[in-house]
Amino acid sequence: DSNVVERAIRPQTITRKNSLFAGSDGGGRTWATIATVLQTCKMNDVDPAAWLTQTLERLANGWPISKLEDLMPWNFKAYGAS
């Protein structure tokens, strides 16, 4: 059953027309990427701002390429969480 997925992507589908005003193809791709990341966080019950902050901090501090999977929203654990 695809209802869960359809409901999850509905906000992006409804606002798809807005991407026409992204300014460029690159802007549209950036908008789509951000929308995908936000929805992935929501689907994994993760606060997007907390995830993005922690992920960017870790990348800036030299997070190893071999452990990128650990940075995905479905693996997110907030600082101080057990």
> Is 62 exposed, middle or buried, given 0-12, 13-18 or 19+ CB atoms closer than 10 A?
exposed
Q: What is the pLDDT of residue 67?
A: 95
- Comparison of pLDDT for 9 and 65, the residue scoring more: 65
Does 65 lie in the same domain as 33?
no
Query: Using one digit for the tens of pLDDT, what is the confidence trace for 22-68?
Result: 677 777 788 888 888 988 998 899 999 999 999 999 999 999 999 99
Q: Domain total for the chain?
A: 2
Does 38 lie in the same domain as 60?
no
pTM: 0.67
Does 38 lie in the same domain as 19?
yes
Q: What is the pLDDT of residue 33?
A: 85
Domain that holds residue 39: 1-43
Ramachandran category for residue 62: left, alpha or beta (phi over 0 → left; psi -120 to 50 → alpha)? left
